[in-house]
Amino acid sequence: MLKQECLELLRQGLNKAIDTGECGGLTKTDIPELKAEIPKNREYGDLSINISCLCRYTGKSPLETAKSIVKYIGEGEGCEKEVEKFKIKIAGGFINFKIKTESLNREMNSVIEEILKTKTEYGKNNEGNGERIILEYVSANPTGPFHIGHGRWAALGSTLANVLKFSGYEVYQEYYVNDAGNQINNLGRSLYIRVLQQLGINAEFPETDTKTKSYYTGEYLTDCAKSFIEQNPQVAEEIRTKQCEEADEKTHKQLCEFAKTYILTGQKMLLEKFRVHFDNFYFETSLHERGDVQSCLNKLQAKGMLYEKENALWFKSSLYGDDEDRVIKKTDGSYTYLTADIAYHYDKLRRGFSKIINIWGADHHGYIPRMRAAIESFGYPADVLVVLLGQLVNLSMNGEQVRMGKRTKMVTLRDLIEEVGIDATRYWMIMRDIDNTLEFDIDLAKSKSDENPVFYVQYAHARACSIMRNAVTERQDTINKVTLPKIFEKSELESYLNNISQNSLDILWKDEQEAIEFRTIIRKLSEYKEVILTSAKKYSPYLITNYLKELAAVFHKFYAQTRILSEDKELTKAKLAIIKSVIYIIKSGLEIIGVNAPEKM
């Protein structure tokens, strides 16, 4: 890599300058990490190293410091020097490297060669070195359909899993099902009302103002009630004859179980459809059944992390930075949500994952300190737990905000997917940083125009594919009304691309004007590696959508100004090598974010 070579040259110069005492107080140990970057303004050169940060040690101005370093590099005088591959020029505190054309072209050739050899695997790296990560996301309650926010976590989580895997992590995707607690009782009671209604009995949801007893009044339980009656005719008959205000214990249990399964099944189907795959669905009830919750409490007890107060059992989370201690066992003897969740996270640790990543909605942020406290109580470092807090989604339609309430009529994820499609929904859900509230404009996401980044990127892919097709098929010349022969036999072209040699690409650099265009697009392609890496390191899938949009823009521009297919077969082949590379990278990027890469549009 030329970047490393620049840095190496600089290091050599710097060391000599230090040895000869020209760098004032700068010693070899306090040299900060220097970076070679592509300058925004390309007139400065191809790569640039900023050495201004050394000035505090050297006691000289940036320019003087740069001069004393460059003095010991290569041939030439003063501010302009030359080495085998670069021309070096000082500008203020910047040392700029202009890569000599021949080296540059060779670098470009090698990028294309690597892409064509690795195909959609280009950019794969081993940053993670097999580290085992458990990624938990969505984990919606089995009490209703997914709302838009769940869609964001689903898209984000599945993409993150893909990026991390691409970067050498081993990722286990898990979904936690909160199938215990009051909410399930509420669900069962709500289903009972719907069943009564379906049986033609006059029943309404009671007005409630207590926090522990409420109802899910959404329409979705109506369908659930229908299938309950269908599948449990005797029970339905009993209910009809008794017409009680509330179901008896046994029936209630049955209703709870039915509703839970019904909704969960629907959720699973929707996730699959949305291209989100979980390795495991983890049930809260299983924790209770195995006694894991109790044994986890024993563990905390043994560590002196629990105490009794006001007839409840408390967890000393404030010992580890939480604002206050938290109730672990209520006065009525039941556990809080936190209790089971601590047991769940303890289980994650026990299963041997070295990193626990959770995607939670921003409304759960207050929950982080107590969870972290639990992790630390068990003797694990606090940073094994990474919580990615996702800001919520604002939906707008016809210029109006659509609020998403949970228990009233709302726009669900299913509605959204039906309206705008899976590709657009996924793309839109991840294209903003997780820290930003997402403005989801349904009309825009639906539009098949340049306003919509999804189509812009997909269109670039389809366009590129189209060129590849045209290269190996006969075409109609509409003006002269003749059939143009195919330029290549399919096998001929494929064999060329699959066994690419760098020499065959040298033809690209003959025409100076075109060479500039080729370099622009190849440089963009080579950025993909870094985008993947940063995206994985920062847990930021949106960087990939940003990149894809930029790559698509570069390609569209390239397409407009450069003719690919021509009589010159050798040149055409080499150009097609670039086009094929573009296809691989876009395809790879879209695959990672779970969006289709259509070959025709």
Partner RNA sequence: GCGUCUGUAGCUCAGCUGGAUAGAGCGUUCGCCUUCUAAGCGAAAUGUCGAGGGUUCGAAUCCCCCCAGGCGUACCA
| Closer residue to RNA, CB minimum distance, 237 or 321 | 321
Look up residue 269 and give its DSSP letter.
H
Q: Minimum distance from CB of 288 to RNA (Å)?
A: 12
One-letter amino acid for residue 88 of the chain: I
- Residue 551 vs residues 148, 282, 499, 581: alpha-carbon distances, Å: 29, 40, 25, 12
Q: Minimum distance from CB of 205 to RNA (Å)?
A: 18
| Closer residue to RNA, CB minimum distance, 236 or 590 | 590
- Using DSSP's 3-state secondary structure scheme, residue 397 falls into strand
Q: Minimum distance from CB of 51 to RNA (Å)?
A: 8
Residues whose CB falls within 8 Å of the CB of residue 115, separated by 6 or more in sequence, listed in order: 122, 525, 581, 584, 585
Q: Which two tokens stand for residue 554?
A: 């570069």
393-397 and 400-402 as β-strands: parallel, antiparallel, unpaired?
A: antiparallel
Q: Is 587 left (phi over 0), alpha (psi -120 to 50) or beta?
A: alpha
Dihedral of the alpha carbons of 466, 468, 473, 476, in degrees to the nearest 10:
40
Q: Minimum distance from CB of 111 to RNA (Å)?
A: 21
Question: Measured between alpha carbons, how far apart are the two ends of the chain, in Å?
Answer: 37
Q: Minimum distance from CB of 235 to RNA (Å)?
A: 26
Q: Minimum distance from CB of 199 to RNA (Å)?
A: 29
Q: Minimum distance from CB of 352 to RNA (Å)?
A: 26
Give the Cα separation of 542 and 453 in Å (integer). Answer: 13
Give the Cα separation of 535 and 547 in Å (integer). Answer: 11
Q: 351-387 burial by CB neighbour count: b if 16+ within 10 A, else e?
A: eebebbbbbbbeeeeebbbbbbbbbbbbebeeebbeb
| Closer residue to RNA, CB minimum distance, 280 or 561 | 561
- Cβ(576)–Cβ(589) below 8 Å: no
Give the Cα separation of 557 and 363 in Å (integer). Answer: 43
DSSP for 426-471?
HHHHHSS-TTSPEEEEHHHHH--STT-HHHHHHHHHHHHHHHHHHH
Give the Cα separation of 113 and 94 in Å (integer). Answer: 32
Residues whose CB falls within 8 Å of the CB of residue 399, separated by 6 or more in sequence, listed in order: 443
Q: Minimum distance from CB of 470 to RNA (Å)?
A: 4
One-letter amino acid for residue 165 of the chain: K
Which residue has tokens 């050599």? 12
Look up residue 268 and give its DSSP letter.
H
Q: Minimum distance from CB of 58 to RNA (Å)?
A: 11
| Closer residue to RNA, CB minimum distance, 78 or 130 | 78
Q: Minimum distance from CB of 88 to RNA (Å)?
A: 12
- Residue 1 vs residues 51, 180, 556: alpha-carbon distances, Å: 20, 56, 28
Q: Which two tokens stand for residue 278?
A: 């979980």
Q: Minimum distance from CB of 564 to RNA (Å)?
A: 3
Give the Cα separation of 82 and 75 in Å (integer). Answer: 5
Q: Minimum distance from CB of 313 to RNA (Å)?
A: 9
| Closer residue to RNA, CB minimum distance, 37 or 279 | 37
| Closer residue to RNA, CB minimum distance, 197 or 534 | 534
Chain center to CA of 302: 40
Which residue has tokens 């970047």? 3
Q: Minimum distance from CB of 179 to RNA (Å)?
A: 8
Q: Minimum distance from CB of 580 to RNA (Å)?
A: 13
CA atoms within 13 A on the CB side of 143: 20
| Closer residue to RNA, CB minimum distance, 39 or 170 | 39
| Closer residue to RNA, CB minimum distance, 217 or 232 | 217
Q: Minimum distance from CB of 221 to RNA (Å)?
A: 17
| Closer residue to RNA, CB minimum distance, 232 or 396 | 396
| Closer residue to RNA, CB minimum distance, 196 or 544 | 544
| Closer residue to RNA, CB minimum distance, 201 or 484 | 484
Nearest-Å Rg of the Cα atoms of the chain is: 31
| Closer residue to RNA, CB minimum distance, 239 or 262 | 262
47-50 and 94-99 as β-strands: parallel, antiparallel, unpaired?
A: antiparallel
- Using DSSP's 3-state secondary structure scheme, residue 287 falls into helix
In which element (H, E) is residue 355 found?
A: strand 355-361
Chain center to CA of 562: 33
